Amino acid sequence: MKKLAMILATTLVAGLTAQSAFADQEVGAKLFIAKQCVTCHQAGGKGSGPFPKIAGRDAAFIQENFLNIQAGIRTKGMSSVMKANPGVQSVTKEDIANIADYLSHLK
Ligand code: HEC
């Protein structure tokens, strides 16, 4: 029984690691539109006016800043406008990992 628990725990950890290590750019590209990022950050995340360019940024930077805005930890400037968006509110940690992977591979 103990052995089975060990195997299950190991499989679970391996599964989680694999998921974050292989974020999916294609899924990210679709989510970028479905979750309304495109409305403000423009096609391909190239930005416009008060909406910063997020294409080509580091994936870790994108994830951290996105999650901080979504959680209301980052409040400067127009962050609250982004936070209030229903698409933004519905993004999961897995979604943002995929979106960040997509954006970080753009120029
Ligand atoms: C309603 C408009 C709007 C939507 C929708 C939106 N954002 Fe933003 N986003 C902004 C604004 C405005 C800022 C700049 C906030 C500030 O003034 O600091 C920003 C900032 C960011 C930043 C930080 C950029 C930097 O240079 O610091 C990231 C990353 C980001 N958005 C990702 C996303 C992602 C991913 C989505 C879609 C899930 C999204 N945003 C949807 C308006 C939006």
Q: Where are the domains of the chain?
A: 24-104
Local confidence band at 17 (pLDDT 50, 70, 90 cut-offs): very low
Q: Is 54 in the pocket of ligand 1 (CB under 6 A)?
A: yes
**Among 3.60.9.10, 3.90.1150.10, 1.10.760.10, 1.10.8.60, what is the CATH number of 24-104?**
1.10.760.10
Residue 23 pLDDT > 80:
yes
Distances (CA, A) of 54 to 4, 7, 45, 70, 74: 45, 41, 5, 16, 16
pLDDT digits (tens, 9 = 90+) for 73-87: 999 999 999 999 999
Question: In the prediction, which pLDDT does 49 show?
Answer: 96
Mutation to probe ligand 1, out of 69, 73, 79 (largest number of atoms < 8 A from CB): 69
SS3 47: coil
pTM of the full structure = 0.85
CB neighbour list of residue 84: distance below 8 Å, 6 or more residues apart: none
Span from the CA of 17 to the centroid of ligand 1 (angstroms): 27
Question: In the prediction, which pLDDT does 46 show?
Answer: 98
